[in-house]
Amino acid sequence: MSQAPARLTIRAMPSSCADAAALLARSLAEHEPRLRALDEEASARPREVGKWAPRQVLGHLIDSAFNNYHRVIRAQQANELRFPGYQQEHWVDAGGYTRRPWTELIDLWTQVNRQFAHALAGAPAAHENTPCFVGEDAPVTLAFLAHDYVRHLEHHLRQVLDPARAAGQKYQPFADPS
């Protein structure tokens, strides 16, 4: 007697990609001016020994936006998405963010995220439950991935803009936002 295949459990979020796009757009509007208030020197100074400087954190967020943009677009093309994880330290180093002017990094971060928000806002509702496998993590829906991206962005912006509040906080990938 053969056993039935195990049922796949996919973590979902109650709201849509369009909701995530609106949250992302609001976050950009709120945080871009605050990032611009940091000068070149402050953007190059790590908040603690062994931690990234603000320009490296912003570079990581740029990398994350690029990766997640691909996920959102590709998840609309198939019944499921399988995407590799990424080695964030390597990406930040290879991206050379410490060698770019701070204002250029802010411009790039802003534009990439505006495009990402635009793509999220236009993602068909029929694809919001597409199972997405990222690296070795458990599958999540496309809508979950979109909302988790915004949470991830907010977590790292706190590290740059409010380091005292962010001290000791660890980001839990694909964690429920509650």
Quick one: pLDDT at residue 169? 59
Q: What is the mean pLDDT of each run of 10 residues along the chain (178 residues)?
A: 47 73 95 96 91 95 95 90 89 95 98 97 93 90 92 92 70 48
Which of these, 171, 139, 147, lies nearest to 157 by C-alpha position? 171
Query: How far is 90 from 86, CA to CA, in rounded Å?
Result: 8
| Integer Cα distance of 176 and 166 in angstroms | 18
- The structural domains of the chain, ordered by start, are 17-165 (1.20.120.450)
Terminal C-alpha separation, the chain: 43
> What pLDDT score was predicted for residue 171?
57
